[in-house]
Amino acid sequence: MFKSLLFAGALASALLAFQPAMAADDQANPHAHHGASTPASNAPWVEGTVKGVDAHTGTVTLDHGRIENIDMDAMTMAYRLQNAALAKDLKVGDRVRFSAEMVDDEPRITRIERLKGGAK
Ligand SMILES: [Cu+2]
């Protein structure tokens, strides 16, 4: 009896903790499925070409020009996306512009969008 009461109590707290989190997430992210809602950024736009996309790990490989704000020279390099949903409309060959910023000591793409006349 004691054990099942404990279990019921634990389950109830788990549900209580879980449901508000879900509700808050829905409210905070009403347009998450659009994939374009990134925080406002002062970082400069940098142009590049998509060389690889890994939606599973949320990384994109870019052949890009110099990224002044994080002191990154022009190179081809894989970057983690601040929001993995940013990867969903990208494919290899796309011409893009993006901003990269240091987040948790690593460069991350904080915004990225396709440029017209890119994919071939
Ligand atoms: Cu680099």
Q: What is the pLDDT of residues 16-44, one digit of tens each?
A: 444 444 444 444 444 444 444 445 568 99
77 neighbors 22 (Cβ within 8 angstroms): no
Mark the ranges of the chain whose per-residue pLDDT is less than 50: 14-38, 118-119
Distance 23 CA to ligand 1 centre (A): 38
Distance 50 CA to ligand 1 centre (A): 14
pLDDT at 90: 94
CB neighbours of 33 closer than 8 A, spacing ≥ 6?
85
pLDDT at 78: 97
pLDDT at 25: 44
d(CA 13, CA 7): 10
CB neighbours of 72 closer than 8 A, spacing ≥ 6?
66, 100, 107
Distance 73 CA to ligand 1 centre (A): 7
pTM: predicted TM-score of the whole model, two decimal places? 0.64
Distance 57 CA to ligand 1 centre (A): 18
Distance 77 CA to ligand 1 centre (A): 5
Distance 68 CA to ligand 1 centre (A): 12
